[in-house]
A and B are shown apart, each in its own frame.
Chain A
Amino acid sequence: MSEEDDLDLNELDDEELVQQMHDDLYDGLKEEIEEAVNILLGRDWAPYRVLTEGLVEGMRIVGIDFRDGILFVPEVLLAANAMKAGMFILRPLLIATGAPRVGKMVIGTVKGDIHDIGKNLVGMMLEGAGFEVIDLGINNPVENYLAAIEEHQPDILGMSALLTTTMPYMKVVIDTLKEKGMRDDYIVLVGGAPLNEEFATAIGADAYCRDAAVAVETAKEFMARKHNQLSANA
């Protein structure tokens, strides 16, 4: 694909290679990311270190430029795809080595809404930040969310809507959680172009996330609070 490449990743020292991974993630170069992950693993890097210093840090940079309007959805999707290719190699190794998990999230686009671009980005960026993400896809009635919560016991429930006609459905899901007395067991994050902070508050969500980068920051923040509460109560 890149015949003009004169750079051999094997020749870079660890620090240069990690830098190069950040650049390659930024440019969405999937094969280069796979190669770099394998080289670092071959140099006896722990899978968790490859994840955090290579992929997570690289995606953090992508997230900043996305938030600041320098990168847009197409570039971030390419970056996320490259990140996923690296994750594909790392995931079984992370599980085998018992690497720490940041948190678990169930995410889906609400009933009637086909738009899953934003939701996919949030899912991929959260994976890039070390979360375990269960993606329910598009067009989810409340039953799907309940079943997934039951099965996966996530820390966070994420809902996305891109249309004025579907955003009220988020409230249907939250109200159902309340009825069942489950609302406070989970952090509920919502997002989507027509939403805003006030809307999120009004429907009873914990936070509105303007974009995927903000979603990652918010999810981390809530996880930190959750851990603090747990240790305070212990």
Chain B
Amino acid sequence: MLRELIDEQGWLLADGATGTSYFAMGLQAGDAPELWNVDSPEKVSDVHREFVEAGADIILTNTFGGNRYRLKLHAADNRVHELNAEAARIARAVAQESSRQVLVAGSMGPTGEIFAPVGTLTHDEGVEAFREQAEGLKEGGADLLWIETISSEEELRAAVEGAGTVGLPIVSTMSFDTNGCTMMGVTPQGFGQIARSLSPQPAAIGANCGVGAAELVATVLGISESRRDTIIVAKGNCGVPEFVDGHIHYSGTPELMADYARLAIDSGARIIGGCCGTTPEHLRAMRTALESHERGERPVIQDIISRLGEVSKLARGEAIAIQGRSTRRRRSQR
């Protein structure tokens, strides 16, 4: 489905920020946006509609924290199915209004728990939580499942396996926010390799959120370096957060995000969107940029830095991350 649409248009535009949009509509810091799927569905529809009107081909449901572990914080862990199904119905209804084909992607964020062996959540518990969420999303009419902001390989595997039980295509993105790696130390290239062994195979993989548009494009370069054979997603933040007049504001301008979209295409991404701070205005600028953009040469890191801003040492090639292994001697080797 994604492949055909991409073949047709050359790329697909995913939507922008949900959480930061809800703040503007009165969401209080600390409250669960997912409860709005039942309590204020019209606000959820409005955000979707604005992004569709701005040119989104894919909209993500309001279910980022819709798994039982996150909903437990709001004493709503017994409402996983309901909140996810409602969210997918809301998005589906908005998608149907459009004359273009708009896909509904069921957003699935991390549990927030640490997986075994370092943490306590088992693989099976993780699979079960993601399966439960995926079933709700499917029932509500999601076209595909969109696993995002994942940091650890263990959670990635559990999420893909759990989502895979309902038979919808899966998109899976990780968040690279720590020295060019995920918080748990996965490199962009490493993610590309890990994704090969996922079951079922995701229809697309990529990066979302993280630390600004420049690093996101650098991450896409890393993923595409190890994987030329898959659809790659770029869903980066709109610059970095600032606090202005009591509100979170992201530093990126529409012009910057337009250039980010062009660079993401040149770096190998085929599905482009925005994460935190990306408004419909930004998305519109990205659409216009993509429509007039001829795919250019693969950029080098210097191009990204000069056009979008600074990147991590790892992305600059100045630091080599050593994954999951100490460089110091162990007792048995002495």
List residues of chain A with CB under 8 Å of any chain B CB.
2, 4-7, 20, 23-24, 26-27, 29, 32, 65, 68-75, 77-78, 110-118, 138-139, 141, 163-169, 171-172, 193-196, 198-199, 202-203, 211
Contact = CB atoms under 8 A, between A and B. Distances in A.
16 contacts: A2-B331, A5-B332, A26-B326, A29-B331, A72-B181, A74-B324, A75-B326, A110-B29, A138-B73, A141-B30, A164-B20, A165-B19, A196-B240, A202-B243, A202-B244, A211-B178
A114 to B, nearest CB: 3
Given A69-B313, A166-B29, 19 more contacts: A5-B331, A5-B332, A23-B331, A27-B326, A27-B330, A68-B179, A68-B319, A69-B180, A74-B184, A77-B114, A77-B118, A114-B69, A118-B183, A164-B248, A165-B23, A193-B177, A194-B276, A195-B241, A203-B243
Contacts of A26: 326, 328
B318 to A, nearest CB: 10
B326 A164 contact: no
A196 B250 CA distance: 12
A72 B319 CA distance: 14
A114 B73 contact: yes
B276 A164 contact: yes
Contacts of A32: 331
A168 B241 CA distance: 11
The 9 closest A-B pairs by CB, nearest first: A72-B185, A69-B179, A112-B30, A111-B30, A114-B112, A202-B243, A169-B29, A168-B29, A165-B19
A69 B321 contact: yes
B260 to A, nearest CB: 18
A25 to B, nearest CB: 10
Contacts of A73: 118, 151, 178, 183-185
Contacts of A68: 179, 319
Q: A-side binding surface: helix, strand, loop or mixed?
A: loop
Interface of B: 17, 19-20, 22-23, 27, 29-33, 65, 69-70, 73-74, 111-114, 118-119, 151-152, 175, 177-181, 183-185, 211, 240-244, 246-248, 276-277, 312-314, 319, 321-324, 326-332, 334
B324 to A, nearest CB: 7
Contacts of B331: 2, 5, 7, 20, 23-24, 29, 32
Which of B32, B118, B319 gathers most chain A CB within 10 Å?
A: B118
Given A24-B331, A165-B33, A199-B243, A70 B322 contact: yes
A7 B332 contact: yes
A26 B326 CA distance: 7
Contacts of B113: 114
B19 A198 contact: no
Contacts of B211: 193
Q: B-side binding surface: helix, strand, loop or mixed?
A: loop
A117 B331 CA distance: 28
A199 B242 contact: yes
Contacts of A65: 327
A163 B114 CA distance: 16
Nearest to A210: B178
A234 to B, nearest CB: 37
Which of A7, A27, A73 gathers most chain B CB within 10 Å?
A: A73
A196 to B, nearest CB: 6
Contacts of B180: 69
B176 to A, nearest CB: 11
Contact of B321 (A70, A74, A168, A194): A70
Contacts of A172: 29
A166 to B, nearest CB: 6
Given A114-B69, A114-B70, A69 B314 contact: yes
Contacts of A72: 178, 181, 183-185, 321, 323-324
Contacts of A118: 183
Contact of A198 (B17, B243, B324): B243
A115 B112 contact: yes
A27 B276 CA distance: 36
A74 B30 contact: no
A15 B28 CA distance: 55
B242 A202 contact: yes
Nearest to A162: B112
B30 A110 contact: yes
Nearest to B185: A72
Contacts of A114: 65, 69-70, 73, 111-113
B251 to A, nearest CB: 9
Contacts of A24: 331
